[in-house]
Amino acid sequence: VTSGTSVPYWKTQGEGLSSRLTDEKDMRPIGLALLDSDLRDGQRVQVEIRGAKIDALIVPYNLRSEAPPFARAILYGPESPADQPVSAPAASKVHSLLKMAKDNTVWRQTKCVNLIPSEMTPSRMSRLLSIMDPAGRYAEHKEVTALDFDVFYYQGTDFIEQVEAALVREMSEYLGCSEVEARVVSGQMANATVFSAMLDHINRGDRRAEPRRIRCVLNNHIMKGGHLSAQPMGALKDFVARDPITEKAAVVNFPVLADNPYKIDVNATREVLDASRPELIIFGKSMVLHPEPIAEIRRFLDDMKIDAVVMYDMAHVLGLVGPYFQEPFKEGADIVTGSTHKTFFGTQRGVIAGNFAKDQDGYHLWEAVRRRTFPGAVSNHHLGTMLGLLMSAYEMNYFKRDYQRKVLANAKAFAKALKDAGLDVAGDTSVSFTETHQVIVNVGYGKGPEIARLLEDNNIIVNYQASPAEEGFTASGSLRLGVSEMTRFGMEEGDFAKLAQLIHDVIVHGQSVKDKVESLRRGFLDMKFCFTSREFNEAMKQLHKLV
C-alpha cells in the first residue's frame, strides 16, 4: 500500500442522468496500492495497519470524470439484493405487452409533437410492406467473376431481387449517381463498410503484406456536431492509423468559424489539408445547420494534388438532397452514406452511393464496397424493411420538391419564432439560424437533460445536445429540434410559431402545456407526402388481410 486516507465526498440524489449532487457530504476510506498480478477487481483482501488487519476491497477506481460537469465519487459496499421479477402467466405477459405497445403508439402518434431530428414515421404503405413475407426470408447474393453474374444463394427470391434492383434505381435517380449499395441495414454499418473498403482499396497493390490503415482522416469533431460513427471511438476505430508523434488516432478535425462553431472555416481548412494531406475526408454532422463546403474542398484537393476520397455522411440530411439544399455528387463527393429514416421517408436502414465510371481508378473502391457489404457486413440484409424502403423511395422521388421546400421554410420560421419568444437560438442570424431541418436552442450549461425531460412531460419530444462549448453530453446545455416529421404530418410555419410559444412557456415559466400540445397535435394526424388516393384502397385492403 503506497498511501491511504479518508477523503470527503458529496452525496448524490437520483439515478443516471437525473442524479444530482446534494449539500450533504460524508467521508470514505480509500487507498492506492501496488498489487500482485493474480489479484482481481472485486476481490476482498486484508490490509495491515499498525499491526491490525482491516478488510479491504480491490476496486479499479475511486473517482470518474467522464460525466461532466462534475467528477463523481465511485462508492463500493454491500450490494443491495436485486429485485426478483414477479412471475406471471404467459397470457398475462402477452396482454401486457400488446397494451403497452398500443398505448405507446397512441401517445407518440396522436398526442405528442415529435421533434427529434433523427426520427421519421414511415407511411402506412411502407410500414405494411415491411411486414410482408420477405420480412422472414433470406436473399444473400454476390457477384461471381467467373460467371459474370450476380448469384443468389437462396431459392424463392425472384420478387425480392426485383425489389432490390428497383430500389437501387430509385436511389440512384434521387441522389444523382451511378452506383448504390442498398443492402446495409444502418448508417453506422454503411460507414464501417466504406472504411473497410478503404483499407482494401489502399492495400490493393500488395495483398501479402499486413494491410496498413488509413494514414490520416479529416472529419468533423464530435463536439462540433460530427457523427459518432466517423470518430476514432466509433466505427472509424479499427481503420485509421495511429500518429507516431501523438500516439493517438491520426484524425484531424475541420476548423470552424470563430463566430459560428456550426460552420466549417473553409480558408483555415486549406492550411489543415496542406499540413495533414489526408487520405479520407468525411463530411456530415448529426448537429447540422448548414450545407457542407464540398465544392470548395474539392477545388483545394485538386489544386494541391492531394489524392483523398471525399465521403459525405448525409444521415441527417439525406431527405434534403436537391437544389434547395445540396447535391453532393455534383459538388465533388466520391461516396455518400446515410440512414434512410431521418429526413428521408424510409424504414430504418442504411445506404451507400458512389459515382465512379468503370474505367476510373476509383471504381476499384466501389467494387471493394460491394465486397465488404457481403460477405463483409451483412448476411441477411433485412428484406422486409428493404421492401418498405422501396415504397418510401417512390414517395420521396414523387413528393420531394414540395416536402423539401416546406421543411426548410418551417425550420427557419420555427427558429425565428423561438427567438422572438425569448429563447436563445444558436446559428447565423443572416440565414435565419438554419439552412437544414434542425434548430438548436441553448438552455444553459448542464440543463439540457432536465429541460428535455420537462418538455417530454408536456408531450414535446426533443433531445438534449452538447453545444460546441461544452465538454460532454452529460453537460449538455442545448436542445436539438427537427421539423421534418411534423412537416410530413402537415404543420406549416404558423403552426411551428404556436409550438415555439408553448416550448417557451415550459422552459421559461415552467408551465404545464400538455393539454395545449395534445390539442395542437390533433390537427395533424394525417400524413402528407405519401400515396393516399382511393385508387390504392383495394390493394391496401388485400395486404391487410395477409397480416
What single string gives the DSSP state of each residue in 114-160?
E--TT--PPPHHHHHHTTSGGGG----EEEETTTTEEEESSSS-HHH
Using CA atoms, how far apart are residues 336 and 355, in angstroms rounded to an integer?
9
pLDDT confidence of residue 65: 84
Does residue 477 have a pLDDT over 80?
yes
Query: CA gyration radius for the chain?
Result: 27
Residue 450 Cα to chain centre, angstroms? 21
Q: What is the mean pLDDT of the chain?
A: 95
547: cell is 397480416
Q: Residue range 344-366: average pLDDT?
A: 94
Q: How confident is the model at residue 80 (pLDDT cuts 50, 70, 90)?
A: low
Q: How far is CA 517 from CA 139, 383, 514, in A?
A: 45, 37, 5
pLDDT confidence of residue 343: 98
Lowest mean pLDDT, pick from 83-92, 270-279, 409-418, 439-448: 83-92
Lowest mean pLDDT, pick from 79-93, 303-317, 461-475: 79-93
pLDDT confidence of residue 76: 84
Does residue 486 have a pLDDT over 80?
yes
Q: How confident is the model at residue 222 (pLDDT cuts 50, 70, 90)?
A: very high
pLDDT confidence of residue 234: 93
Phi and psi at 276, nearest 5°, equal -105, -30
Domains of the chain: 3-73 (no CATH), 113-120+400-522 (3.90.1150.10), 124-390 (3.40.640.10)
Residue 540's contacts (CB-CB under 8 Å, 6 or more residues apart) are 124, 125, 128
Kindly state the helix (H) or strand (E) to which residue 201 belongs, with its residue range: helix 187-202
Q: How confident is the model at residue 484 (pLDDT cuts 50, 70, 90)?
A: very high
The three-state DSSP-derived secondary structure of 7-69 is: EEEEEEECCHHHCEEEEEEEEEEEEECCCCCCCCCCCEEEEEECCEEEEEECCCCCEECCCCC
Per-residue pLDDT reduced to its tens digit, 417-451: 999 999 999 999 999 999 999 999 999 999 999 99
Does residue 82 have a pLDDT over 70?
no
66: cell is 467522464
